Structure 1
Amino acid sequence: MTDDVARVHRVIGVEEHAWTADLRDALLTFADDDTVNLLSSRQPTDHRLREVGEERLARMDAAGVDVEVLSITTPGTQPLDASEAVPLARDANDFLAEAVRAHPDRFAAFATLPTPEPRAAARELERCVQELGMVGAQLVPLTRDRYLDHDSFRPVFEAAAGLGVPLYIHPGQPLKAVRDAGYGGFDDWTNLNLGTGGWGWHADAGLAALRLILAGTFDRHPDLQIILGRWGEMLVPFADRADLLSEENLTLQRRVIDYITGNVHVTAGGVLSHRMLAAAIDVLGPDRVMFGDDDPYRGMKGRFGGEGGALEFVETAPMSAEDRQKLGHLNAERLLGL
């Protein structure tokens, strides 16, 4: 794709991860999260998560990514006690803000929020947006055994709606009872992958978003927008079936599918699949799809790995030249104010 019309002007990665050494240590000590214990804390992933300078910029350049929207990797501070979560979230957000200040043309950032203390989480979101210039926040579905639709988390959604910023719902480890019953019974590595990146993560993230709809979150905040990775975390591809929840529902103001098409945006989240992109566009249209490389986890593997892989994925997407610009950067610029 060499002609000027087909050439994508720039690529923004909307799901790209980092963390701090202090947060890593607290998660290893207190959280009992297998994705931390067995995946993120291993070398070289731990180093790549903590590095937000020249090495990351070199990876971005090699892949053809112009801007990364940084976010603290799953599970953030959400599994920790409030006394740990509040200061660690603040420190992690200051770390992200410093990375953006050092390279303002290459990085933006989502805040991580200490949801074990919801009012503190709302205040932290306000600080991050109003003082640090962040473009929204990333959350995982669970804080201990509570999904995001629990009444206690309403201050967070009120703050996001008031600030006019989106919330990225990133997968997190499902409840232990669910992991044991639904994702166990195999060898340890298969159990881990079945319950996380192979299936469980995505079912749980889609469920968390659906629960937000059913709890009336978008009736209270009709303009609030959320983002899901992996082309909609099972919810968007299953939107027509999820709409059955609209039947005889006396509490919602709209049909479920109308919330999905009006309040949800999606990213690749490292799944560089044109087939899944096409399915997301079929449900949401071309104005709600964005690129995301899941740096540093994806490791530039597969057909679109290696030199220029991100740019190649966008430029060869089965869509019009105008819509490729939307996928590559225009939709992210509009939603996130970049």
Structure 2
Amino acid sequence: MSHELDIVDIHTHLWPLEWGADGSKRISAGLPDTVLKKIVDPASLIDEFSSAGVSLAVLSTTVESLFGMEKPADPHVIVEVNDWLAGLVKTQPDRLAALATIDPFSGEVAAREAERALGELGLAGLVVDSYRDGKFIGDPVARPTLAVAARFGKPVFVHPVNAPQAGVLIAGAGKLGNSLGRGLMNGVAFLSLLENGVLDEFPDLNFVFATLGLGAVVQAARGGRYSQQNRAAGHRPNVYFDTMGDDPSIIAILVQFFGAERVVAGTDWPILPALSRQTLAQNLAAAGLDAQARSLVAGGNARRLLGHVLR
């Protein structure tokens, strides 16, 4: 029944051309040229996803990818990028959705742009960095942006960023060490929601995290909202984790801990290739998911988050 699987990839990236393989403003973070060429080419994404059987790609352009971790985030550039993303979606509304680029650590400035992006531009949600300027997403400075997303009923994707000690991690373990550091920052951001009252202040706001931060579940499981008792009773907050691929062992862990209704398909394209409809169906089944759970993880949960009807 794999031909019936509706796949929504909630974690894909495109950059404006001037930040790409030949752009003078590029913040490449050591990405290979093959990736840099794809990440500025919407046609590459459309072609690859169409061939693989992916129904909808959810685009994002992160603040870190535009400015790095040290350079100030220019609000005028962020406005231009959000206009660009909205224009891309208009060219392929059945194949593309986009999350607005927002720097929530800039307070009211970010909230005003979130208001414009979700209201005037009609973008599907927000993508924010896990950490910036010494603050994680649970910090009070991000509350104005989160309040806007909550009012619009749109999700917030909390994206990994390089750890402050990235150089040490790369020296010790290469690219995998750097990825683990990014997972650390994403995991701490997840815990910052739990520890700083964000989920109480915005009980209906949906958050999405990358599976790079999965190690944080060890701490979250110690008690509170993700205690064994609460998980067994199905009492889980509106926090989702993406699959970052289709490894059945990882998917099984995600579903067991968060529940099938809180896991969404994602790749980090073009870092990882597009999900194959046939392979994803096989791996979701290998993870022990029944037909309903497979449908939720592949695309149903993401469409509910984004407000996209099944096409």
AA matched with 1:274: P
Say if 2:122 is the partner of 1:130: no
Distance 1:116 1:81 in 2: 14
Say if 2:306 is the partner of 1:336: yes
Match of 2:197 in 1: 216
- Render the CA deviation track for 1:213-263: whole Å, top value 9, x for unaligned: 21111111111221112276323465323x3xx5xxxxxxxx454699212
Asked if 2 retains the 8 angstrom alpha-carbon contact of 1:161 and 1:224, the reply is yes
Distance 1:76 1:166 in 2: 20
Q: 1:50 to 1:185 in 2, by over 3 A?
A: closer
Q: 1:160 aligns with which of 128, 131, 149?
A: 149
Aligned with 1:269: secondary structure?
Answer: coil
AA matched with 1:125: A
What aligned pairs does 1:1-338 form with structure 2 within 5 A after superposition? 2=1, 7-23=3-19, 28=26, 36-39=28-31, 42-53=32-43, 55-73=44-62, 75-77=64-66, 79=69, 85-115=74-104, 117-175=106-164, 178-179=165-166, 183=169, 185-186=171-172, 190-195=173-178, 197=179, 199-230=180-211, 233-236=214-217, 239-241=220-222, 243=223, 246=224, 255=225, 257=227, 261-270=236-245, 272-299=246-273, 308-310=278-280, 312-314=282-284, 317-338=287-308
Aligned with 2:33: secondary structure?
Answer: coil
AA matched with 1:57: I
Distance 2:298 2:45 in 1: 19
Measure how far apart 1:11 and its partner are: 0.7
Match of 1:249 in 2: none
Distance 2:56 2:258 in 1: 24
Distance 2:236 2:65 in 1: 28
Structure 1, unpaired ranges of 5+: 247-254
Asked if 1 retains the 8 angstrom alpha-carbon contact of 2:102 and 2:127, the reply is yes
Asked if 2 retains the 8 angstrom alpha-carbon contact of 1:165 and 1:336, the reply is yes
Sequence identity (%) = 25
Q: Which runs of 4+ in 1 moved over 6 A?
A: none
Asked if 1 retains the 8 angstrom alpha-carbon contact of 2:63 and 2:102, the reply is no
Per the normalisation by structure 2, the TM-score is: 0.85
Distance 1:66 1:316 in 2: 22
Q: 1:203 to 1:321 in 2, by over 3 A?
A: same
Q: 1:9 to 1:179 in 2, by over 3 A?
A: closer
- Render the CA deviation track for 1:261-305: whole Å, top value 9, x for unaligned: 2121111123x21111111111121111111122111135xxx77
Q: 1:64 to 1:309 in 2, by over 3 A?
A: farther
Per the normalisation by structure 1, the TM-score is: 0.79
